[in-house]
């Protein structure tokens, strides 16, 4: 699958392994959570980085003790309407302080790009026919966010600039004046 | 693969541009009236209707096409399902806006 | 009321442009219908039975005259000259064309409105007490918090693809006019033992196939922790709410399956890990929002108005209208005017563009430029001088808006049903019209007294039938519509779920059954006892016996 990082297609150095696949002696691999938990030491010791793929029903706390050894976490969207991985991403970044690559996999659409960045994703596996222009355009369609404390480059109100307090008399006062008895 | 059908079928969809209910007619166009709808009486012809409809999905003229069972009467095809009969009839309350004046519905439009 | 600053304006404009691009991509075929559907739904655009339907957000039901005029303009320009006010205090248009929708949204943005999240599996329009800021019984005006939640929930990065739709209601009053127990999250501003104002937080209420009343997850939450606490509830729901079955996907099922205690524990556990001060905007931001909701500049008036008293004694129709539709305002000399959108035999909640303009003019001239939409599908002029009431009533009368039936038998909530809705199983509007005509005589309605009849055209319960004193649910069997009746539901502070009384009725007999139920109540009531009180005292049996003996 094509991989997007920083608004462009990049070479994907990672090999995705299934539960029973043989682990190559070197190179970067992404393994399922169960595999990582059963072969933790072996995976951490080998040459090459290790990433863990979490189902969207997994509890990120399960990999909390190992986050220093994990370079990448892949979260998945079985359908783009299934939004569990947004919360997993948020927990990984903010509760657990995960600083490695957070990769969105599965059904990842350009129209989700902004949200995905805000919850902390920084790598996106997209469908083969995706155009980078549409991706970039969609991810930058909205540059503002009301929610404080999320990531990404959308600006919150307090970061944009403090709003001046409304000036009185407001419209209401003007109306009151009009309808005041003569 | 042949489509399992129970009785004659016609093919309906909504037009992409305005959502209007349309029916696939024998001349291959989509019409708002059920009167010209192409009736499939065999499983093969029902499948053929679906295949034709699919091409219009590809060209973004219609959305959500599906077959509906009809009864063929002297006055034309009538859907079997209650919902489809209502869908074709339009809102039964629309009359309220078209001149029915009971003193309280003072519609200016 | 709230006014957009540059931030809000830019945000909404960007959202319009984004949607315009999505529509273009759909029309060009770049997006398939499957991809486009969730995107259009997140902007309130449905494909209904006969056409598209656009639902426009009226945040916590508050409008000014300019906005109302724009709604009228849209009705004329892009629809068939009318709109339908909904039980979420929104308005919906039944006939827009897809390529017009971005233009409609541009027009809405001109008056600081949008259609963001009026549909889809996201946080929907936050609703509030329609008398907020005007009612005498409130601890604090809930609107600043509703606005805060509107902002916080708009394009929420984490909570835009929830298992199912999510509805929040807030009230600041002891009398619950916002039906908070029937919401996914219900909030009530309340005082703690030491007098400090905070929120009671309910979760897990809802209607639909499995009606449930919300449970209290926090007795009292400090106000400045509101958004962080909501975030905790939403996260637990987003991660653990069921996604395998649409009918079990609402938060009420999660709360029910986990149990209130375990659900609360998980929320509190999550909450501990959230850095609350980082979620809530700085204090000055709440001050900024609150400032917009400062009371209008009232005149210093005596509470009694001699003109009002004189007009009431001279004009019995006016006196009846004042009795039912006008309620006390917290400011002496002012009143809250409720405008019925339930003419006898009419379509509940529908208003023509002419009616919208008439209400806009009245609001501008007589109600400090404010209008509210109620969840019971009526309108409100919240700040009217008592001495202006007679003139307001006369104007309303010329526009067919002076029905004196607020809270009476013909003030029926009805969803659009199978006249418009693609999900409906039966029609609901014609039934409401039938009942309305049957019980429409005003003396009879007044004699029957407070009665909430609510009709839904399918199990999704958009017509709130579970909360109806008399609830009606339209279903279909073998090509025929039939109607199930429930009794004893209530959406207020004594919330209860209506109970099914027995086999359903045909469209021809359901009105007879409702009339029999009403007559049974009239025959059995004790002095001053409302329908709901009588039902709670008597139980269903006398009503069942009467209905099934005769039908």
Is C419 within 8 Å of B92 when comparing Cβ atoms?
yes
- The C-alpha angle C100, A80, C269, rounded to 5 degrees, equals 120
- Tell whether the torsion through CA atoms of B55, B58, B60 and B64 is positive or negative: positive
Domain ranges across chain C:
6-110, 134-290, 310-398, 413-550
Give the pLDDT mean for A37-45. Answer: 94
What CATH code would you report for A3-179? 3.20.20
> Is residue B103's pLDDT more than 90?
no
Confidence band of B92 (pLDDT split at 50, 70, 90) = confident
Helices of type H across C329-454: 353-366, 389-398, 429-438, 442-448
* Mean per-residue pLDDT of chain A: 88
How many angstroms separate the Cα of C4 from the Cα of each of A159, C7, C118, C151? Answer: 17, 7, 19, 11
Strand partners, C455: C414, C472
Give the pLDDT mean for B62-86. Answer: 94
CB distance from B93 to chain C under 8 Å? yes
- Percent of chain C predicted with pLDDT > 70: 100
Tell me whether the CATH fold assigned to C134-290 matches the one assigned to C413-550. Answer: yes
Beta strand pairing call for A50-54 and A72-77: parallel
Residue holding tokens 């809000």? C8
* Mean per-residue pLDDT of chain C: 96
User: The CATH number of C413-550 is which of 3.40.50.10890, 3.30.413.10, 3.90.1200.10, 3.40.50.300?
Assistant: 3.30.413.10
Compute the nearest-CA separation of B93 from chain C (Å).
Answer: 7
CB atoms within 10 A of CB C445: 24
Residues 26-85 of B with CB under 8 A from C: 57-60, 63-64, 80-83
Which of C39, C157, C160, C274 to probe the A interface (max A CBs under 10 A)? C157
Residue holding tokens 């709901």? C532
CATH class (in words) of the domain with range C310-398:
alpha beta
Is A119 within 8 Å of C157 when comparing Cβ atoms?
yes
Domain ranges across chain A:
3-179
The enclosing H or E element of A72 equals: strand A72-77
User: The CATH number of C6-110 is which of 3.30.70.20, 3.40.190.80, 3.30.9.30, 3.90.480.20?
Assistant: 3.90.480.20
> What pLDDT, in 10s, does the model give residues A126-164?
988 888 998 999 889 999 999 998 988 899 988 776 544
Residues 6+ apart with CB under 8 A from C374: C61, C89, C130, C177, C338, C380
Token readout for C40 is 């259009």
Residues 112-151 of A with CB under 8 A from C: 114-116, 118-119, 134, 137-138, 141-150
Q: Which CATH superfamily is domain C134-290 in?
A: Sulfite Reductase Hemoprotein, domain 1 (3.30.413.10)
Residue of C nearest to B94 (CA): C419
CB distance from A97 to chain C under 8 Å? no
* pLDDT at site A1: 87
Partner residue opposite B82 with nearest CB, options C419, C433, C476: C476
How many angstroms separate the Cα of A22 from the Cα of each of A105, C90, C389, C405? Answer: 22, 57, 83, 76
* pLDDT at site A174: 39
Give the pLDDT mean for C200-206. Answer: 98
Residues counted in chain A: 182
Secondary structure in 3-state letters for C467-523: HCCEEEEEEEECCEEEEEEEECCECCCCCECCEECCCCEECCCHHHHHHHHHHHHHH
Task: Report the alpha-carbon distance of residue C509 to residue C504 in Å, rounded.
Answer: 9
CB distance from C344 to chain B under 8 Å? yes
Task: Report the alpha-carbon distance of residue C110 to residue A94 in Å, rounded.
Answer: 38
Residue of C nearest to B60 (CA): C29
> What pLDDT, in 10s, does the model give residues C250-267?
999 999 999 999 999 999
Chain A residues within an 8 Å CB radius of C160: 83, 86, 115
- Is residue C368 within 8 Å of C384, Cβ to Cβ? no
Partner residue opposite A142 with nearest CB, options C3, C15, C369: C15
Positions of E strands within C272-340? 326-328, 334-339
Compute the nearest-CA separation of B31 from chain C (Å).
Answer: 14
Q: Which residue, C133, C111, C136, C135, is CA-closest to C58?
A: C111
Positions of E strands within C96-194? 127-128, 168-171, 185-191
Task: Report the alpha-carbon distance of residue C72 to residue A140 in Å, rounded.
Answer: 33
* pLDDT at site C85: 97
Q: Which residue, C138, C204, C128, is CA-closest to C170?
A: C128
Task: Report the alpha-carbon distance of residue C425 to residue C416 in Å, rounded.
Answer: 11
Q: Which residue, C409, C340, C414, C411, is CA-closest to C373?
A: C340
DSSP class of residue C402 equals: -
Compute the nearest-CA separation of A37 from chain C (Å).
Answer: 22
* pLDDT at site A162: 52
Confidence band of B2 (pLDDT split at 50, 70, 90) = low
- Percent of chain C predicted with pLDDT > 90: 96
Give the pLDDT mean for B33-38. Answer: 94
Confidence band of C507 (pLDDT split at 50, 70, 90) = very high
A neighbours by CB contacts (3+ pairs under 8 Å):
C
> Is residue A178's pLDDT more than 60?
no
Is A150 within 8 Å of C158 when comparing Cβ atoms?
yes
* Strand order across the A3-5 sheet: A8-10, A3-5, A123-125, A101-106, A72-77, A50-54, A28-32, A14-16
* pLDDT at site B94: 58
ipTM entry: 0.94
> What pLDDT, in 10s, does the model give residues C334-386?
999 999 999 999 999 999 999 999 999 999 999 999 999 999 999 999 999 99
- Tell whether the torsion through CA atoms of C375, C377, C381 and C387 is positive or negative: negative
* pLDDT at site B3: 66
């Amino acid at each position: 699958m094509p991989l997007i990082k920083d608004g462009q297609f990049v070479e994907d150095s990672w090999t995705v392994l299934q539960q029973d696949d043989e682990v190559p002696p070197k190179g970067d691999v992404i393994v399922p959570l169960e595999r990582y938990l059963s072969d933790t030491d072996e995976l951490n010791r080998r040459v090459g980085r290790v990433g863990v793929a979490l189902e969207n029903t997994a509890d990120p706390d399960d990999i909390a003790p190992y986050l220093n050894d994990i370079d990448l976490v892949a979260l998945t969207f079985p359908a783009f309407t299934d939004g569990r991985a947004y919360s997993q991403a948020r927990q990984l970044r903010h509760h657990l302080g995960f600083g490695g690559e957070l990769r969105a996999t599965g059904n990842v659409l350009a129209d989700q790009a902004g949200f995905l960045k805000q919850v902390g994703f920084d790598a996106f596996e997209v469908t083969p026919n995706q155009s980078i222009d549409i991706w970039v355009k969609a991810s930058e369609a909205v540059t503002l966010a009301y929610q404080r404390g999320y990531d990404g480059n959308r600006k919150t109100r307090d970061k944009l600039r403090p709003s001046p307090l409304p000036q009185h008399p407001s419209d209401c006062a003007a109306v009151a004046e009009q309808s005041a008895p003569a | 693969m042949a489509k399992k059908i129970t009785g004659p079928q016609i093919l309906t969809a909504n037009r992409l541009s305005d959502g209007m209910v349309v029916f696939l007619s024998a001349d291959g166009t989509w019409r708002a009236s059920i009167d010209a709808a192409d009736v499939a009486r065999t499983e093969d012809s029902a499948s053929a209707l679906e295949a034709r409809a699919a091409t219009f999905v590809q060209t973004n003229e219609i959305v959500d096409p599906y077959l509906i069972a009809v009864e063929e009467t002297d006055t034309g095809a009538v859907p079997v399902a209650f919902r489809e009969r209502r869908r074709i009839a339009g809102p039964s309350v629309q009359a309220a806006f078209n001149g029915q004046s009971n003193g309280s519905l003072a519609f200016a439009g | 009321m709230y006014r957009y600053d540059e931030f809000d304006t830019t945000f909404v404009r960007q959202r319009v442009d984004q949607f315009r691009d999505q529509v273009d991509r759909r029309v060009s075929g770049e997006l398939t219908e499957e991809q486009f559907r969730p995107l259009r739904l997140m902007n309130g655009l449905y494909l209904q039975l006969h056409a598209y339907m656009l639902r426009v957000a009226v945040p916590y039901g508050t409008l000014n005259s300019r906005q109302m005029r724009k709604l009228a303009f849209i009705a004329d320009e892009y629809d068939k000259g009318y709109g339908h006010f909904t039980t979420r205090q929104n308005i919906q248009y039944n006939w827009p064309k897809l390529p017009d929708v971005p233009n409609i949204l541009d027009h809405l943005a001109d008056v600081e409105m949008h259609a963001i999240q009026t549909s889809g599996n996201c946080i929907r329009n936050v609703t509030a007490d329609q008398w907020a800021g005007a009612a005498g019984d409130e601890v604090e005006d809930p609107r600043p918090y509703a606005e805060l939640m509107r902002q916080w929930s708009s394009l929420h990065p984490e909570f835009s693809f929830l298992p199912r739709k999510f509805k929040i209601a807030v009230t600041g009053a002891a009398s619950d006019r916002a039906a908070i127990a029937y919401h996914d999250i219900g909030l009530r501003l309340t005082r703690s033992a030491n007098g400090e104002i905070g929120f009671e937080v309910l979760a897990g209420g809802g209607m639909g196939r499995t009606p449930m009343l919300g449970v209290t997850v926090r007795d009292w939450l400090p106000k400045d922790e509101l958004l962080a606490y909501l975030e905790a509830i939403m996260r637990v729901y987003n991660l653990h709410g069921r996604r395998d079955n649409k009918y079990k996907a609402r938060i009420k099922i999660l709360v029910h399956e986990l149990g209130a205690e375990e659900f609360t524990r998980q929320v509190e556990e999550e909450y501990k890990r959230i850095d609350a001060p980082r979620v809530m905007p700085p204090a000055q931001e709440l001050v900024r929002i609150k400032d917009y909701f400062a009371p209008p500049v009232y005149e210093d008036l005596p509470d009694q108005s001699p003109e009002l008293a004189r007009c009431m004694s001279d004009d019995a129709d006016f006196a009846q209208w004042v009795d039912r539709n006008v309620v006390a305002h917290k400011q002496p000399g002012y009143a809250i005017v409720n405008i019925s959108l339930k003419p006898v035999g009419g379509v509940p909640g529908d208003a023509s563009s002419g009616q919208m303009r008439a209400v806009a003019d009245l609001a501008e001239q007589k109600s400090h430029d404010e209008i509210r939409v109620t969840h019971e599908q009526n309108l409100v002029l919240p700040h009217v001088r008592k001495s202006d009431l007679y003139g307001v009533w006369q104007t309303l009368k010329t526009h067919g808006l002076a029905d004196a039936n607020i809270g009476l038998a013909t003030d029926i909530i009805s969803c659009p049903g199978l006249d418009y809705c693609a999900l409906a199983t039966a029609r609901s509007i014609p039934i409401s019209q039938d009942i309305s005509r049957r019980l429409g005589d005003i003396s009879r309605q007044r004699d029957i007294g407070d009665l909430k009849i609510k009709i839904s055209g399918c199990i999704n319960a958009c017509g709130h039938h579970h909360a109806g004193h008399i609830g009606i649910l339209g279903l279909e069997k073998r090509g025929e519509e039939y109607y199930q009746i429930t009794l004893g539901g209530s959406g207020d502070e004594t919330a209860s779920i209506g109970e099914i009384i027995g086999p359903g009725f045909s469209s021809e007999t359901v009105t007879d059954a409702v009339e029999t139920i009403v007559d049974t109540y009239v025959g059995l009531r004790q002095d001053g006892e409302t329908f709901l009180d009588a039902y709670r005292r008597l139980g269903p049996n006398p009503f069942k016996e009467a209905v099934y003996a005769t039908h």
